[in-house]
């Protein structure tokens, strides 16, 4: 790795100030399209830095909660405008830091703007209900009250949208936050926090600390001043979050991935299904928790579908996401790249047939990055690891089904239950799918990867724990209900 003398160093944001870690150590964030390029340096923080951030959030929570909800919403409108003004710069940083193509990065950043404006509008919506009392001379109503300090831990795959859909509702409902992003996307996260800082939020309301999960993440999970924690990431870490939060009696919210199926019935529009499977499986290099990773096809159309799918997949251009004409970027890191390669080899060892892709790209620019071609496996059995474990990469497993009932049974045969989709032209089939599919998000004649900001998001089984994210459902996590009884 070439050490950069020009790459910017990004600081922690604690109690309204941008500060270095107390140990003054930094680590480099590397461009996965060119591992010789350093996108920036981030703080390699220690537990004392996290302690200062949490104390700052705790100290600010009383004054922030007493501020009117409408006024808190106005701050989010300001943040949205600043983010929109800096959309191109932040999107380009995202592409450089975690590899997704520039059009996708711009789309995600624009979504962050929309999320901020949605929750800014919550500042003018009701925060309770009037309830009839059995005492005719009394007034009874409910109010939503903030929890206090919210710990926020986010992954690298959506470094703008996911932090914002956690931070924005936390703030508008009156909480303060301590935000720890994934190291692989911490420069992008820092630029998002800069937007909050420039909007003039009071000191201590938004605190930002970078560092390893084993140090900063674990310290945040276990911190006694935390009133709730929201986490998106791996299942193993999520279980630690749940254990720690449960032992201390604080609220927690987990989103931990999926193994999302797409069912293609014998009466489906195959061209539409192919387009959706490719988009859902390979956009963002398959690095989405809602990515389409299992495709279950009825026998009658299996061969025709596979032929079309392979033909279209071979047209995908792989390369640096900043370049024109590139459809799929690199894996986000060397670690993720190695994980994808491991599963491709595992699929072969298990007896599945690698129909196309799965090749490490080499030569010229490819040698500098973590590039792999989108892979499609056939002859996959339900029990194979590539059909059960989340790969988080551009790998699709094809499975056969004799009918819709078997297809749904196969689709449900996993410990995950985040998203699922079906392609069919029969109303009876889609209704059965809606009723029988064990997933928090079901989509009809559309890809499995698609989340609308105004709708609840979350999964079943091992995919999620706690209340849903986004939309009005976010209020259930970030507030508690207080019932008020007034006797005249």
**Residues annotated as part of the active site:** 255, 289
**What is the SS3 assignment for 183?**
helix
Of 40, 19, 20, the C-alpha closest to 30 is 40
**Which run of H or E residues covers position 475?**
helix 474-478
How far, in Å, are 3, 43, 131, 419 from residue 123 at the CA level? 46, 34, 22, 30
Q: Which residues pair with 34 in a beta bridge?
A: 31
How many other β-carbons are positioned within 10 Å of the β-carbon of residue 275?
15
173 phi and psi, to 5 degrees? Answer: -85, 5
Find where tokens 């999964």 sit. Answer: 459
**What is the SS3 assignment for 356?**
strand
Q: Which residues pair with 295 in a beta bridge?
A: 262, 398
* Sheet strands (E) in 357-477: 375-378, 395-401, 416-417, 419-423, 441-444, 460-461, 464-465
> For residue 461, what are its two tokens?
């089984």
Rounded CA separation 293/308 (Å):
17
Q: What is the dihedral of CA 445, 387, 234, 472, to 10 degrees?
A: 20
**Which run of H or E residues covers position 279?**
helix 270-282
DSSP letters along 22-88, please?
A: TT--EEEEEETTEEEEEEEEEE---HHHHHHHHHHHHHHHHHHHHS-HHHHHHHHHHHHHHHHHTHH
Alpha carbon of residue 210 to chain centroid: 18
**Which run of H or E residues covers position 419?**
strand 419-423
Alpha carbon of residue 442 to chain centroid: 17
For 153, left (φ over 0), alpha (ψ -120 to 50), or beta? beta
How far, in Å, are 27, 132, 143, 325, 488 from residue 138 at the CA level? 61, 9, 16, 67, 6
């Amino acid at each position: 790795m070439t050490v950069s003398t020009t790459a910017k160093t990004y600081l922690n944001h604690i109690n309204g100030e941008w500060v270095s870690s107390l140990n003054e150590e930094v680590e480099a964030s590397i461009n996965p399209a060119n591992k010789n390029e350093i996108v920036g340096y981030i703080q390699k923080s220690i537990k004392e830095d996290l302690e200062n951030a949490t104390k700052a959030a705790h100290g600010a929570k009383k004054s922030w909660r007493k501020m009117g909800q409408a006024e808190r919403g106005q701050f989010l409108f300001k943040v949205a405008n600043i983010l929109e003004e800096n959309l191109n710069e932040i999107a380009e940083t995202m592409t450089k830091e975690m590899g997704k193509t520039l059009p996708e990065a711009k789309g995600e950043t624009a979504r962050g703007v929309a999320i901020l404006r949605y929750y800014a509008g919550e500042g003018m919506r009701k925060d309770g209900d009037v309830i009839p009392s059995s005492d005719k001379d009394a007034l009874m109503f409910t109010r939503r009250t903030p929890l206090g300090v919210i710990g926020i831990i986010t992954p690298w795959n959506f470094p703008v949208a996911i932090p914002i859909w956690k931070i924005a509702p936390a703030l508008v409902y009156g909480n303060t936050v301590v935000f720890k992003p994934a190291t692989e996307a911490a420069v992008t996260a820092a630029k998002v926090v800069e937007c909050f800082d420039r909007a003039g939020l009071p000191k201590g309301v938004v605190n930002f600390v970078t560092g390893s999960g084993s140090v900063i993440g674990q310290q945040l999970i276990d911190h006694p001043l935390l009133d709730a924690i929201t986490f998106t990431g791996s299942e193993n870490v999520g279980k630690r979050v749940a254990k720690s939060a449960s032992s201390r009696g604080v609220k927690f919210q987990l989103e931990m991935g999926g193994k999302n199926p797409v069912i293609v019935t014998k009466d489906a529009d195959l061209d539409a299904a192919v387009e959706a499977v490719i988009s859902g499986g390979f956009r963002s290099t398959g690095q989405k928790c809602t990515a389409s990773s299992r495709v279950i096809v009825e026998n009658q159309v299996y061969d025709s579908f596979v032929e079309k799918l392979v033909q279209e997949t071979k047209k995908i251009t792989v390369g640096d996401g900043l370049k024109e004409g590139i459809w799929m970027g690199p894996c986000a890191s060397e670690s993720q790249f190695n994980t994808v390669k491991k599963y491709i080899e595992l699929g072969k060892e298990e007896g599945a047939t690698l129909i196309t892709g799965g090749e490490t790209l080499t030569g010229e620019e490819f040698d500098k990055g973590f590039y792999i071609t989108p892979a499609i496996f056939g002859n996959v059995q339900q029990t194979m690891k590539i059909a059960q474990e989340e790969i988080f990469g551009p790998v699709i497993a094809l499975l056969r089904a004799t009918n819709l009932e078997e297809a749904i049974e196969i689709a449900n045969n996993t410990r995950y239950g985040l998203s699922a989709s079906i392609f069919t032209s029969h109303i009876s089939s889609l209704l059965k799918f809606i009723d029988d599919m064990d997933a928090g998000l079901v989509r009809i004649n559309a890809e499995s990867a698609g989340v609308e900001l105004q709708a609840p998001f979350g999964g079943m089984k091992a995919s999620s724990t706690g209340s849903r994210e986004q939309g009005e459902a976010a209020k259930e996590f970030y507030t508690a209900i207080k019932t008020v009884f007034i006797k005249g």
